Amino acid sequence: MTTSRKRVLSGMQPSGLLHLGNLLGALDNWKALQEQYECYFFVADWHALSTNYADTSRIREFVRELLIDWLAAGIDPKRSTVFIQSHVPEHAILHLLFSMIIPISWLERNPTYKEKQEEIKERDLSTYGFLGYPVLQAADILLYKPDYVPVGKDQLPHLELTRELARRFNSLYKPVFPEPMEHLTRFPKVLGTDGRKMSKSYGNTINLSDPEPVVRQKLKTMVTDPARVRRHDPGNPDVCPVFDFHKIFSPPPVIDQVNRECRTAAIGCIDCKKLVADRIVERMAPIWEARRTLIDRPNQLDEIVQDGSRRAADVAHQTLEEVKEAMKI
């Protein structure tokens, strides 16, 4: 690890199994960033409590599965610091200190606060932890003083709140925190099998841990152009979620073929889905192989986490010392 490169930080909640949306929207981006930047990637297990506090039975399992998926997708612990949030207590301490200075109105205007409550109606999210999770998120970020934070467009309000909190702290005490910039993901939205955004909450995911038969079966049931009822009806690829997958996974000649033949009914939805299924399986095959190797070596995973958490704690401790000196506590 070098300190001359610019720094990147990002994390994920272990709230379920990772899927193609996570691979395309985050992990592929992270994999590319570690070639150029000093990267810190953390498992946000405390954040998982904000929506899963009533049932924590699978969080440890999801933490482990998430780490396996990261490494299988190409996150290299020799080039990136991979760690678990709860293994670095400075995250909680800085969250507490930030919670003393952030106005409640800043949290109440968070656009995803009410959106999530509507999306996850079966759970009681009227908790301090859920309202205040952007404060913990800001602590997660600012603790490592990153230059860039990889995010999708839907996360930009959260990052702006982090910058506002950094400015507030710096003006109240003394300059400690730089304001991190966004690094937008290439695929901010990947559709699921039902045509909505791929999400664990919707149950429409193709998981990285799904075996090949499951992946193919899920793709067989994926929604297509709703106006194309019969095989000989011409379709419109512009409104078909399967064609969106082609644009991501298929080579240009296949994309052109599907685009042309769908509109003239020269290809049916079953054949169209098989073409893209072959490409997705080809893309996922190395991940499946790497997952099997990691599952067979549990001690290796533990060593990676311990080493990464130790390296992260060194940086976090230094930042927290600067914070305490600035606040005179």
Q: Is 197 a catalytic residue?
A: yes
Q: Is 200 a catalytic residue?
A: yes
3-state class (DSSP) for residue 270: helix
Kindly name the residue from 145, 200, 218, 273 that is annotated as catalytic. 200
Convert 78-93 to b/e letters by CB count within 10 Å (16 or more is b): eebbbbbbbbbebbeb
Q: Residues for the chain: how many in total?
A: 329
133-142 and 45-52 are packed helices; what angle lies between their axes, rounded to 10 degrees? 170
The helix or strand, by DSSP H or E, that contains position 80, with its residue range, turns out to be strand 80-84
Number of H helices, E strands in the chain: 15, 5
Kindly name the residue from 6, 78, 145, 197 that is annotated as catalytic. 197
Determine how many CB atoms are found less than 10 A away from the CB of residue 298: 11
Find how far residue 214's CA is from the centre of its chain.
Answer: 22
Kindly name the residue from 31, 78, 114, 116 that is annotated as catalytic. 116
Q: Report the distance separating Cα 314 and Cα 112, nearest Å.
A: 33
Find how far residue 295's CA is from the centre of its chain.
Answer: 21
Q: Which amino acids are annotated catalytic?
A: 116, 197, 200
